[in-house]
Amino acid sequence: MAQVKALRLSNFKSIGADTQEIGFAPITLLFGPNSAGKSTVLQALVFAREAILHGNLDPDTTDLGGDWLDLGGFENVVHGRDLDVAIGLGVTLEVDASDLPDFTSEHEAESLEEFGFGQLEDLFVDLESIDIEMQIRWSADRARPYVEMYSCKLDGELTAVIRSTTDGRQVYIDEMPLLSHFFQDPLDFLDDDRSLYEILSESLSQSIVERSSRGMRDLAGGGRPYASFKIEELENLIDDEDLPRQEVLQTLLEELGHRSTRRAADLERRVRSLVTSSAGRSSVDQVAINLRNQDGALPSFISGLVFEDDAWSKIYEEGEMDASYERAVRLLLRRALDTAICGPLACFSSVLEGMNYIGPLRDLPPRQIEVPKTKTTSRWAKGLAAWELLPGMEPQSIDEINYWLGENCLGSGYQVHLQKFRELPNDSPIYELLDSDVINPRGLISLIEDLPEKTRVTLRDSENGLSVMPQDIGVGISQLFPVVVASVHFNDALVSIEQPELHVHPRLQTELADMFIRYALDSGNQFLLETHSEHLMLRLLRRVRDSMASGIPVIVSESVSMSESFDVDFDRSIAPEEDEDIEITSERAFPRITSGSETEAANMARRDYLYPEHLAVHYVEPAKKGTKFSRLRVSEDGDFLDEWPQGFFEERDDELF
């Protein structure tokens, strides 16, 4: 499953024109003063989710946050509410070839296999990372935002750049260098051993590989796109056949109206004459490779790219290759481009689709918890989805939740208890059967089993065994519970939580850190935590220190089920005798191994250990040019290599000393 490695933002909310890169890890923490812009990261991901999954570039209420997370539309999220600037949004994902979608149909796959072309996945078999960049701008022509630029990279090498004009009438591939080795390496299954790059260079009717048109790129930018052009450059634009003529001429007229030189006046008269003479021509001329069925530069990650009919020329000379072979090669090229250009967007969409958000204030459920017929991710925003999951949960998951709520972990004092029952209506025929002289046990059982089974969710007090309703417990547990359920429930998901420590005792905050470690490293989740908790941070640093002690990392055993009772405390160190086999008896023990079995322990799966690279800690602070994000590196000693800006977390020392 793809995982986020970095998010890049510019001109979004409190972030200004200077691009801010936020590195991600299995556990990402955002610290900083109130109103500094910590929530900007979450809001950017929610905005991307609306844009990519739903095509909504002007969102207010959102699918993920419901009424709780109202973005207020494009004008509210663009920096300074300035409609003349473009929002920049980029992401780096860690992937492998299996994450990329295959756009070939079953019939197409058979055609490729007939000529021995194999699977497209084989072309990208050693892929490790992808990059996506988007620019979203307001279109004055259409009075709504649009994606003016989309670009993607494979393993850091540029694949393609797609652009759209402000009126949306022309969407085109502006650059397609295809620099990655996936396109540059010769293909041994082709008869002539050429690379995809070589074939594409020869088969596209317009030579746009490695092309860069300054005039077109500036034209797509909106505003005064030619303000920086010299008069000679403006004159050259008139004769550039690769540009949409009417649109260029109209934009030139607007620009020349801002200039007062005699040469500019002469050029303006010439342009007006050309506008009149070419009024009947289409402004959608062939530019680079035109794309169809796209509203803006964002391609479809479901259907792929749709090229203009005349985009392709013949690949082979007459009689050089069989026509069916040439069709198969062209199909291979098209689907390879779909995978390389649209595939990265599909990977990002999968991450966004699996994303979940828990807000800072979690609601208590009604006394009778029922599973809603229509499930929406927005129910997580206020924590209600956590309670609604319980009636349908497997017993093992309930055991796991209870383990974390139990005394060996969070020590909440409560355990989840599901009571199964059936309600008997007053007019039920069962009453008549019970009143009859002859009772038919089988008939009675059958009637009872026909009654719908219901589930009542209660919390059982660990000390006295009494069951209470969720509404009757303290606010701290009610705030903590959705965080625990989300951690246990999700796998390979991006889980964003605002202030997981809210209303929670400091000791429980430290134990939360261990829970995040467990489900980040063992379940493939990524936790994005906006927090003020020093206790949470200190426990994470301690676990890094424990992991790296004597070169032996933290070990999370998988040999014990959650339903067993554990005697090993989190803080317990296990130091077996020299010749004794190491046996970790608790799934959540963090032992320090000091025996001769260190080598064997160190060779265990790396994902079970907490290393500095498993943490991404960012300090967020306001600055003159917009919110600034500073990543604070963690050392192998479980300390920070960088100083906290503004002395954050030093308040305790000030009070003590």
Beta strands in 449-566 (DSSP E): 453-461, 467-468, 494-498, 526-530
Q: What is the pLDDT of residue 606?
A: 35
Q: What is the pLDDT of residue 28?
A: 98
- Tens of pLDDT, residues 158-214: 999 999 988 888 898 888 888 888 888 888 777 667 788 888 877 775 544 444 344
- Three-class SS state of 150: strand
Of 590 and 66, the structure prediction assigns the larger pLDDT to: 66
Check pLDDT > 50 for residue 558: no
Check pLDDT > 80 for residue 21: yes
Check pLDDT > 80 for residue 330: yes
Complete DSSP assignment for 52-120: HHH--SS-SEETTTEEEEE---HHHHBGGG-TTS-EEEEEEEE--GGGS-----HHHHHHHHHTT---G
Give the pLDDT band of residue 219 (cuts 50, 70, 90). low
- Tens of pLDDT, residues 463-481: 898 998 888 887 888 899 9
CB of 556 closer than 8 Å to CB of 598? no
Q: What is the pLDDT of residue 476?
A: 80
Residue 397, exposed/middle/buried by CB under 10 A (0-12, 13-18, 19+)?
Answer: middle
Check pLDDT > 80 for residue 318: no
Q: What is the pLDDT of residue 560?
A: 34
Q: What is the pLDDT of residue 553?
A: 47
144-148, 330-334, 373-377: range with lowest mean pLDDT: 373-377
How far is residue 509's CA from residue 513's CA, in Å, rounded to a whole number? 7
Give the pLDDT band of residue 614 (cuts 50, 70, 90). very high
Check pLDDT > 70 for residue 71: yes
- List of residues 6+ apart from 123 with CB closer than 8 A: 182, 196, 336, 339
CB of 311 closer than 8 Å to CB of 205? yes
Check pLDDT > 50 for residue 36: yes
- Supply the mean pLDDT for the chain: 81
Check pLDDT > 90 for residue 316: no
Find tokens 């991600």 and name the residue: 24
CB of 332 closer than 8 Å to CB of 112? yes
- Tens of pLDDT, residues 296-312: 999 999 999 998 877 77
Token pair listed for 301: 């990650």
Domain ranges of the chain: 95-209+286-348, 216-278, 380-504
Find tokens 């490729």 and name the residue: 112
Q: Kindly state the percentage of the chain with pLDDT values over 90.
A: 42
Give the pLDDT band of residue 396 (cuts 50, 70, 90). very high
Check pLDDT > 90 for residue 263: no
Token pair listed for 465: 């065994």
From 629, 642, 655, select the one nearest 32 (Cα to Cα). 629
How far is residue 240's CA from residue 213's CA, in Å, rounded to a whole number? 10
Check pLDDT > 90 for residue 371: no
Q: What is the pLDDT of residue 241?
A: 56
- 604 secondary structure, DSSP code: S
Q: What is the pLDDT of residue 531?
A: 94
- List of residues 6+ apart from 184 with CB closer than 8 A: 178, 195, 197
Outline where 115-219 has alpha helix (H).
181-184, 196-203, 214-219
Check pLDDT > 70 for residue 600: no
- Three-class SS state of 130: strand
Q: What is the pLDDT of residue 375?
A: 74
Of 513 and 68, the structure prediction assigns the larger pLDDT to: 513
H or E stretch covering 47: helix 39-54
Check pLDDT > 50 for residue 404: yes
Give the pLDDT band of residue 563 (cuts 50, 70, 90). very low
How many CB atoms lie under 10 A from the CB of residue 636? 14
Q: Which residues is 12 bridged to in the sheet?
A: 15, 78
CB of 80 closer than 8 Å to CB of 125? no
Give the strand pairing for 414-422 and 3-10. unpaired
Give the pLDDT band of residue 52 (cuts 50, 70, 90). very high
From 482, 515, 485, 510, select the one nearest 498 (Cα to Cα). 482
Give the pLDDT band of residue 15 (cuts 50, 70, 90). very high
How far is residue 575's CA from residue 599's CA, in Å, rounded to a whole number? 15
How many CB atoms lie under 10 A from the CB of residue 313? 10
561-586 average pLDDT score: 35
Check pLDDT > 90 for residue 265: no
Q: Which residues is 136 bridged to in the sheet?
A: 87, 147
Q: What is the pLDDT of residue 564?
A: 37
